[in-house]
Chain A
Amino acid sequence: MAMGKRNIKNIAWLLATANLGGEYKWNHTPDTSFNYVASRVPSIFSSGNAIIDPTFAAWKRTINIAEYLDDPFVVDKFYEAITPYLNSSKYFKIKDTSLFTSMDYCSGSQEAFLNFMMMNRDKRLRLFKGDYWWHLDICDSLGIEWAFIEDDELRHTDFVIFSCPFALTGEPHANMLDMLDVCEHKGIEVLADLIYMPNYKEQYEMDLGYDCINTMTFSFSKTFPIQTARIAVRLQKKVTRDPLNISNNENIENRLALGLGVNVMENYPINYMVDTYSDLQAKWCDILSLTPSNVVHLAYGDDYSDRSNQYSKYNDQFRRYNMGILYQNDKLLNEIYV
């Protein structure tokens, strides 16, 4: 039975009022006053954060990551495992991963983005409207010029960051291939952010063979609920001797993060969330009259909140729903609402 927008609001208020706990302090509701709950409602379905799968959540607490502090080889284990892991996806295929022979651990993809921006700070950043808002806030703070790809032609004095699957829609951006052709022709450096690829549930092949794509980034943060462990990697065809690379050459990468990453790759297939939650995505999209994305924890519909953009003036993602909170509370919602 489809219920639509009215009931999206009901569920948002229900979940905002309930003290759900979790790894973010704003999910611990210290009081249930109207104003405090109202301030949380717009964020209930926001963010691209991973589904808090209970089996995974229980498992991760059993891992003794402290033992990796003194293991100098855990870095190599991670680097050796990551490319086969990415290539093991049953759905989203990445062509030419073998070209990316240089790897750098990074504390979240953000660290790789930041280094890319610093090394291109005299150029203008270009990205599609709806991509990760963080890029724009950082550019503003660093005084780096930027413009949306849609708003001006691409020039050889630009550099590009794009996500695939695209952050806003969960699909490859409709103009991605045209953008890459232009960048290839004009020698514009491009970074490909593949953070959502493990949760992509349809067959797709991403061609990273373009010369303009020297860098791709991957993080575990949107796939598994370990975003606070900051497990990410930058893969490059040609080494960039930037602050990230220089620091990593000291062999002082975060071994706690890398050790956990190695364990995740050994114990959880890359498409675990797709295989586990596709049915719940279909169920909740039907109940709430939302359009399911091909990224299993995302969906699309009308804005359910009239609040201004949260966290950043550039964060305009109110038509995108993170369905994870519904999957996580499916039992509760079934008992009291559906």
Chain B
Amino acid sequence: MLLTFEFKNINNYPVCSIHVNDIPEQFGSVEPILNVAIDMEMYTEFNVKIYFMNKSPDDTVVDAAGNIIQDKNFELVDILMDGVSIGDYRWEGEYVTATERNKSCLFFGPPGHFEIALKGPGDYKHLEGTTDFKDFDEQYKLWQWAKETLKI
């Protein structure tokens, strides 16, 4: 399965590490799109954590009035599983710092990590409200069968 992470508002060269079930799968500069390929069966629960690796106090510069005039940060836009967006389910994630857990926070500002519990392809919760995948289960199995048949 391919996990795709979409980011925006990437400021001042942040670095992240993406873990799946606490195993580091990807490390490097935050880019608008990062892909992580993992083996995951349908309906298997797993967690994803995105660690903000290189934030330090010196990255945040404030003016005399205390306004932030320079910082290092980025924002998570979406997570896709084999091209299928998890949609609003992304708001189930939390941003965890040393002192607090911020629910529904996609902003990587202070040092910490974002975490979210996901389920392998086929979890309808991710697709509720969409009209395109009401037969997701069947379609996903057809896609897997096609790839196996074509040896792709």
Contacts and interface: CB of A to CB of B under 8 A. Distances in A.
Interface of A: 9-10, 13-14, 16-18, 31-38, 41, 306-308, 336-337
Nearest to A18: B150
A35 B84 contact: yes
Contacts of B121: 34
Interface residues of B toward A: which range?
20 to 34
Contact of B150 (A34, A35, A336): A336
Interface string B82-126: 111000000000000000000000000000000000000100000
B134 A34 contact: no
16 contacts: A9-B138, A9-B142, A10-B142, A13-B142, A16-B146, A17-B147, A18-B146, A31-B83, A32-B152, A33-B2, A33-B82, A34-B84, A34-B139, A38-B139, A306-B135, A336-B149
A14 B149 contact: yes
A34 B146 CA distance: 11
Contacts of A16: 146
A4 to B, nearest CB: 15
B131 A13 contact: no
A17 B146 contact: yes
B74 to A, nearest CB: 24
B72 to A, nearest CB: 31
Nearest to A12: B142
Contacts of B80: 35
Contacts of B132: 38, 307
A37 B131 contact: no
Contact of B149 (A36, A41, A337): A337
B85 to A, nearest CB: 8
Contacts, number: 54
Given A17-B147, A17-B152, A18-B150, A34 B135 contact: no
Q: At the interface, is chain B mostly helix, strand, loop or mixed?
A: mixed
A10 B148 CA distance: 12
Interface of B: 2, 80, 82-84, 121, 131-135, 138-140, 142-143, 145-147, 149-150, 152
Contacts of A33: 2, 82-83
B89 to A, nearest CB: 16
B79 to A, nearest CB: 13
A35 B82 contact: yes
B83 A35 contact: yes
A35 B140 CA distance: 9
Given A34-B140, A35-B80, A36-B83, A308 B131 contact: yes
Most chain A C-beta atoms within 10 Å of own C-beta, residue among B80, B143, B149: B143
Contacts of A31: 83
Contact of A32 (B131, B138, B142, B147): B147
B39 to A, nearest CB: 15
B143 A34 contact: yes
B81 to A, nearest CB: 8
Given A34-B121, A306-B134, A13 B146 contact: yes
Contacts of B134: 306
Contacts of B146: 10, 13-14, 16-18, 37
Nearest to B138: A9
Nearest to A33: B83
B151 to A, nearest CB: 9
B15 to A, nearest CB: 26
A13 B150 contact: no
Contacts of A306: 134-135
B33 to A, nearest CB: 12
Contact of A34 (B83, B131, B145): B83
Most chain B C-beta atoms within 10 Å of own C-beta, residue among A17, A31, A34, A37: A34
Contacts of A17: 143, 146-147, 150, 152
A14 B143 CA distance: 8
Contacts of B83: 31, 33-36, 38
